[in-house]
Structure formats: C-alpha cells, structure tokens
Amino acid sequence: MPKVTYVAHDGTEAQVDVPAGENVMRGALYNGVEGIVGECGGGLSCATCHCYVDESWIDRVGGPSSVTESELLESVATELKATSRLSCQIEVTDALDGLVIHTPETQY
C-alpha cells in the first residue's frame, strides 16, 4: 500500500498508508491528519482540501487536473503556489508511494 507523508504547517509529519485508487484528501481524513478539511467530501465544490505537493514530487503528480480545480484554487485561504493542488483530485497510485504533501496554515 502506498505511503503518503503529510507535513503540517508547523513541520509535524504524519506518514500513513493510503490504498491505491483512493485520493490524498481521504487518506488524510481517514487517518485523522489535521490540515485537510474536505468539507465537500471530495465533490470538487470547495477548496478546503488545499495542499502543496512537495517540489520533489510535482513532476510526477502534475498540476491541476481540470479547469474546475484551477478555478477553485483561486479561492484558497492561504498562499497559492505553483505546487498547490486540491488533495481530493490527487489519486494515489503505486507510483506515488512515498508522496510528500504539505498542508497550509489554514483552510479558512
């Protein structure tokens, strides 16, 4: 099972197993990782699962997967960066084993 490391704004790390086919947001929510809220449950209708993909992983993960994701990213509560993504739109695969995700200071 792929492992994802979530790095909180304060540097605290949580490494969790996330089943392939699941998304990064649910991996955080199901494992009690703070920093990802996911109010819409992954319905791509809010931006409370905003995250920053670690720079060493952005080439493998890629940028926003749709126009809708790009538009929602414009409304995030914290700084928008080149590595910003909505974690509900990042599907975990075996190729992403070891993925590192940084969470913003706040989602609101």
Record the pTM: 0.96
Segment 2-20 mean pLDDT: 98
Domains of the chain: 3-102 (3.10.20.30)
pLDDT of residue 87: 98
- Encoding tokens for residue 81? 């960066």
Spatial distance between the Cα atoms of 12 and 93, rounded to a whole number of angstroms: 24
Tens digit of pLDDT for each residue in 57-107?
Answer: 999 999 999 999 999 999 999 999 999 999 999 999 999 999 999 999 999
Alpha helix stretches (DSSP H) within the chain: 24-30, 58-61, 67-73
Question: Given the structure tokens 């609101």, which residue do they identify?
Answer: 108
Tens digit of pLDDT for each residue in 34-63?
Answer: 999 999 999 999 999 999 999 999 999 999
